[in-house]
C-alpha cells in the first residue's frame, strides 16, 4: 500500500509534513516501513496511527546491532512528539533499569520532553542511535529468564 493511501486512513493535522518526515526517515534508516498501528493508552483508549516499524542500527564496542522499534506518529505531529517503543524479539529483553527505556520498551529521551514542531523523526533517530550506541537498551535474554525476578515485580 502506498504512503498516500496509509496517510488517508488516519487523521493527521499536517499530512504533508508527516509524509516528508516518513520519507526522510526511510531514506536515512532504510530499515523501517510505514503501516497503520494501534496505540493503546494506559486508560484503555485506542488510537489508529501511522507507525514506522522495523529496525535501526547502533554500533556498540565495534559491533553493529539492529534495534527493533515502532514509532507511533500522533495526529498532531509535529506539534506533538512521536511515541517510540523498542520491540524486542523473542530472544531479547529490555535492559534492567535502562536510563532511556522502560521495561515495557517505551523510549524516554530528553528530545521527547522538549519536543517542538521544528524537530523531526530523523533527528530523534539520530539521537537514539548516539545514545543507544553508548548504552544499548536491548540484550540477549539470559538462560532461565523470569521477568518477575529480573525486573523485580
Cell of 50: 501511522
Could you tell me which of 22, 18, 54 has the C-alpha nearest to residue 10?
18
Q: Residue 143 pLDDT more than 60?
A: yes
- The pTM assigned to this predicted structure is 0.92
CB-based contact 28:123 (threshold 8 Å) = no
Q: What is the pLDDT of residues 3-16, one digit of tens each?
A: 999 999 999 999 99
Amino acid at each position: 500500500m502506498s504512503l498516500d493511501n496509509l496517510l488517508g486512513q488516519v487523521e493527521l493535522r499536517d499530512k504533508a509534513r508527516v509524509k516528508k518526515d516518513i520519507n526522510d526517515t526511510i531514506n536515512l534508516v532504510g530499515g523501517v516501513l510505514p503501516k497503520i498501528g494501534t496505540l493503546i493508552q494506559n486508560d484503555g483508549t485506542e488510537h489508529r496511527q501511522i507507525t514506522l516499524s522495523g529496525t535501526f542500527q547502533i554500533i556498540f564496542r565495534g559491533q553493529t546491532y539492529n534495534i527493533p522499534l515502532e514509532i507511533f506518529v500522533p495526529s498532531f505531529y509535529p506539534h506533538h512528539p512521536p511515541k517510540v517503543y523498542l520491540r524486542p524479539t523473542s530472544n531479547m529483553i529490555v535492559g534492567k533499569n535502562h536510563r532511556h527505556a522502560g521495561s515495557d520498551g517505551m523510549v524516554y529521551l530528553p528530545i521527547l520532553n522538549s519536543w517542538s514542531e521544528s524537530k523531526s523523526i530523523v533527528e530523534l533517530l539520530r539521537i537514539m542511535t548516539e545514545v543507544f550506541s553508548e548504552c544499548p537498551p536491548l540484550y540477549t535474554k539470559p538462560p532461565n529468564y523470569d521477568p518477575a525476578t529480573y525486573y523485580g515485580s
